[in-house]
A and B are shown apart, each in its own frame.
Chain A
Amino acid sequence: MAVEGKADLPAMTATERAIRPRRDPLSDRLILGLFLAPSLVVLLSMVAYPFVSLIYYSFLRFSILRPQVPAEAVGFENYAFLLSDPDLWSRFVFTGQFVFLSVGLQFLLGITIAYILQRDFRGRDVIFTALMLPMMLCPIVVGFLWRYMLNSEWGVVNYLLTLVGFAKLDWLGVTQNALWAVVIADSWMWTPFVILLATAAFRGVPKTIYEAADIDGASAAFRFFMVTLPLSAPILFIALLLRLIDTFKQYDLFFALTGGGPGSSTETVSFALGKLAFSYFYTGEASALAVILLLIIIGLSLIFVRYLTKLGRQRG
């Protein structure tokens, strides 16, 4: 590279700069505080306050319907009562079954569909968008929608069953069937979520890793199970955690489809909590149950987060 014959920079000496006193570092912190303040106020009033109240109420026995009856401080009595109630435990079991079946189905279907949709083909994008629709509906609407579809007399589902030679099923009148009914409705609504996240996870695998796997001679199946899935694990785990928490809290579908019935055989813990708080108005007990649920969810999340961090550290 030829160097120009010395093009002159102006012959200046460094000009004198007045040395100004140092800026007060505190002003930076003050500005920081001011920017954070509004969010902080909202958080405190809308989250922290109700949260603390909840815990407070769980140690009292009272009902908000009858404020004139003074609240009694009863220590852990609410908790003891709840935890020794066999009905509550059977509801936990039922909830567990529901969560296991529903989340399991969503993941199986979701990952499979996401895998199939990886390859580009005509109309893929349209299909993908269409698949997202159920997720966008209001849960209560989905509930009623399925309730009508699953009606034993004139519901669409039973109609289709008779077309292929099966007998009509009593979906909502038999407990076992009702459980599956809600599982199907819940999965219908939320499998798209898993498809979405699985797709994102699959796309996140760098192309060169696939190329390396191809060169290494991996078959499509080997590649999927040994490379794609493990590398998608972090996102899939987050999806799993989110679905678990959400399914655990599922209320609308049960309300619309089964109303907790037949009898009270399809009452989940969430459903029971709803009844306690807003049908019977045992505010103290309801608060205690809410706290128990919260602890379970926190516990679940901690396990997941711990595992995710470990993965993160391993894989850099």
Chain B
Amino acid sequence: MARVQIDQLTVRFGDFTAVDDLSLEIEDSELVVFLGPSGCGKTTMLRCIAGLQACTAGRIWFDHEDVTERTSARRNVAMVFQFVSLYPHLRVAANISFPLQARGAPRAEIEERLDWAARIFGLQPVLRRFPAGLPPGVKQKVALARAVVRRPTVLLLDEPLSAIDESFREEMRWELGHLQRELGFTTVYVTHDQREAMSLADRVVLMRDGRIVQVGTPSEMFEQPADEFAAFFIGSPSMNFIEVKRDPAGLRLGGNDVLLKLPAGARAALGEVGPRNLRLGIRPQHVALISDPADDAVGTFDAPILDRYAIGRERYFDFALGNDTLLGMQVGPEAGERPKVAFDLAHAHLFDCETGRRLPVRLAGAS
């Protein structure tokens, strides 16, 4: 376990910049998840930390040692790959003890560590088997066991759950989360699945086109996205986005028809914002249907309800605003006859259309 410091890391392949001047500090025992769509540079980043990829510029430190020039073997990192890379010609036990044998560890130590690793991951029943016949979930556990068996400085995971069947993925995710906290290895995890990121991370590093978009705890990423990309990428179902125009009473939604009334405090804050085009973002979980709101109630408006349906115990509804169809979730009791759509203004965000950045305007200001 160690602190990892990444200092202005840049990786260029010819004209293409995969990672652009990235700096980050990772605490001891922290689980940091690099999240982003494919091609954003997260895997390249991980491979740099592993020593499998040379950096064009920048330095990497483990605690106080500069490891930038070292080969993988000399960094004491451990890696679990997306497409399992167990040694097919060795039994599970030999796979797990390979790193120790490669370093010439004494027999007794190998036995002891093998025993320990097999126990934590529950691999005793398959120790004598070859990887070939094992289900992908078990194979990844073997890969994990092999990774932790020599107490690496940093544990690196490259989309380890992607190749696993959906049905087992959730199980593995829970186990991984539990084990990482138990064992306490500093861990860097790469994924494109925001669910995994939210579930496992101490902090999330959202990347796009080689750059960091936002770093924060899962809560921060969810509640205070830095820009539209972050707001859309995180959270499922995805955030609704609506073009808005300013109005003395609040905001006009979706092509001028619908007026969203805002409290006085919010209107004042809005006044401070310079001349820009704005977009409103609000998660479906913060859009509800209510019956009989007061006529001048803020945050409510009329909109045609297109459909209502339930997924398990959750009730959703589709509604139209201008040309768009948006999603809302019914959390309270069933709304009555002529329900109105209500936005929870405390969780509504305003974004600048040009830059995409979120504006620090609180729409639920006091009346």
Contact = CB atoms under 8 A, between A and B. Distances in A.
Contact of A215 (B50, B324, B325): B50
A181 to B, nearest CB: 39
A214 B52 contact: yes
A206 interface: yes
Given A2-B323, A217-B73, A219-B102, A212 B85 contact: yes
Interface string B122-159: 00000000111100000000000010001000000000
B98 interface: yes
A77 B91 CA distance: 52
Contact of A209 (B52, B72, B77, B87): B87
Interface stretch (A140-148, A226-234, A270-278, A290-298): A226-234
A212 B79 contact: yes
A208 interface: yes
A212 B89 CA distance: 14
Interface string B67-110: 00001110011110101011111100000001101110000000
Nearest to B94: A226
A314 B86 CA distance: 13
B88 A231 contact: yes
Contact of A222 (B51, B102, B150): B102
Nearest to B47: A211
B71 A214 contact: yes
B132 A211 contact: no
A227 B98 CA distance: 10
Q: Is the interface of A mostly helix, strand, loop or mixed?
A: helix
Given A2-B325, A3-B325, A209-B87, A218 B133 contact: no
A38 interface: no
Interface in A145-180: none
Contacts of A212: 79, 81, 85-87
Interface size for chain A: under 10, 10 to 19, 20 to 34, or 35 or more residues?
20 to 34
Nearest to B156: A215
A216 interface: yes
Given A2-B324, A215-B72, A217-B73, A316 B81 contact: no
A213 interface: yes
A316 B77 CA distance: 29
A206 B85 contact: yes
Contacts of B130: 314-316
Interface in A293-315: 313-315
Interface in A175-225: 206, 208-209, 211-219, 222
Interface string B315-353: 000000001110000000000000000000000000000
A233 B204 CA distance: 44
Contacts of A208: 81, 83, 85
Contacts of B146: 216
A223 B103 CA distance: 12
B98 A216 contact: yes
B89 A230 contact: yes
A40 to B, nearest CB: 36
Interface string B49-77: 01110000000000000000001110011
Contacts of B325: 2-3
Contacts of A216: 73, 78, 98-99, 102, 146
Contacts of B131: 316
Contacts of B88: 231, 315-316
Contacts of B78: 215-216
Nearest to A211: B52
B248 to A, nearest CB: 29
A52 B179 CA distance: 67
A270 B88 CA distance: 40
A206 B81 CA distance: 13
B108 to A, nearest CB: 19
A217 B132 contact: no
Contacts of A313: 132
B73 A218 contact: yes
B278 to A, nearest CB: 20
Contacts of B150: 217
B233 to A, nearest CB: 15
Contacts of A231: 87-89
A209 B83 CA distance: 10
8 nearest A-B pairs in the assembled complex, by CB-CB distance = A316-B132, A216-B99, A208-B85, A218-B102, A230-B89, A315-B88, A217-B73, A212-B85
Given A2-B324, A3-B325, A226-B102, 6 more contacts: A211-B72, A213-B98, A214-B73, A217-B150, A218-B102, A316-B133
Interface of A: 2-3, 206, 208-209, 211-219, 222, 226-227, 230-231, 233, 313-316
26 contacts: A2-B324, A206-B85, A208-B81, A209-B85, A211-B79, A211-B85, A212-B79, A212-B85, A212-B86, A212-B87, A213-B102, A214-B51, A214-B73, A215-B73, A215-B78, A216-B102, A217-B73, A217-B102, A217-B150, A226-B98, A230-B89, A231-B87, A315-B130, A315-B132, A316-B130, A316-B132
Interface of B: 50-52, 71-73, 76-79, 81, 83, 85-90, 98-99, 101-103, 130-133, 146, 150, 323-325
